[in-house]
Amino acid sequence: MKQGIFAAAGALLLTACMLTGCGASAKQEETITSDQMPYGSTVSEDTSRSMTISYDKRFIEDALVEKIYAYYHAIESKDGEALGAVMFPLYHAYQLEELYGGEVDDQALADSTYDAIKDYFGYDFDYSYIEITDMVSKLGESAGRDALVLQLDQLAAEKGEKPVSDDTQRLCELSLTRHVDKKGSGNKTETPDVLTGETLYAIQYQNEWYLIY
């Protein structure tokens, strides 16, 4: 009797497999590789510096991470020279001359940025954790990024130089979240004191990374 039941069950299973397909050989499912997944699907934490930087390594290379670190370290240490060194020269000159009327230099920018954050939280601070939450690098995905490409080419044309886009390998719009802690704490983790909504642009020009803020 049991043999009859098992035989019937086996026949039903075989029929189901013939109709729907059983196992990997019968049904080929589409496989999504890691390079097809959107930014943020995989996250790494770089803790090798004074602040942790969290980002998706598939999209952001080490050389750019170093520039981002240098930018935030320049702010927390109020180092105007270091701040100016990571900025894209063409746009940074325009920024100082046109947007600030020639009345602000790199040191003033570093000081004012630091002081604004210090006043907001009420203490001298260090960055503890920088999270790069999103990155846009393709035409048509960000109006701000696309407008910046045109502006950089226009600035170059005004100086009689060839378009910046001719020697640009990548131009990215980065969204970041910043965590801070009291200066000297040594903390490199997320904290309750957080600033969201930071946008930085990163340009790889003639194989060198620069930032635009």
Tokens of 3: 């043999």
Tokens of 8: 């019937």
Q: How far apart are CA 172 and CA 181, in angstroms?
A: 28
Q: How far apart are CA 176 and CA 192, in angstroms?
A: 16
pLDDT by position in tens, the chain (length 213)? 333 433 333 433 333 343 344 454 444 456 666 667 888 889 999 999 999 999 999 999 999 999 999 999 999 999 999 999 999 999 999 999 999 999 999 999 999 999 999 999 999 999 999 999 999 999 899 999 999 999 999 999 999 999 999 999 999 999 999 999 999 999 999 999 999 999 999 999 999 999 999
Q: How far apart are CA 186 and CA 188, in angstroms?
A: 6
The structural domains of the chain, ordered by start, are 50-212 (3.10.450)
Instruction: Please give the model's pTM, rounded to 2 decimal places.
Output: 0.82
Which strand ranges, in their side-by-side order, compose the sheet holding 44-46? Answer: 44-46, 52-55, 125-136, 168-182, 194-205, 208-212
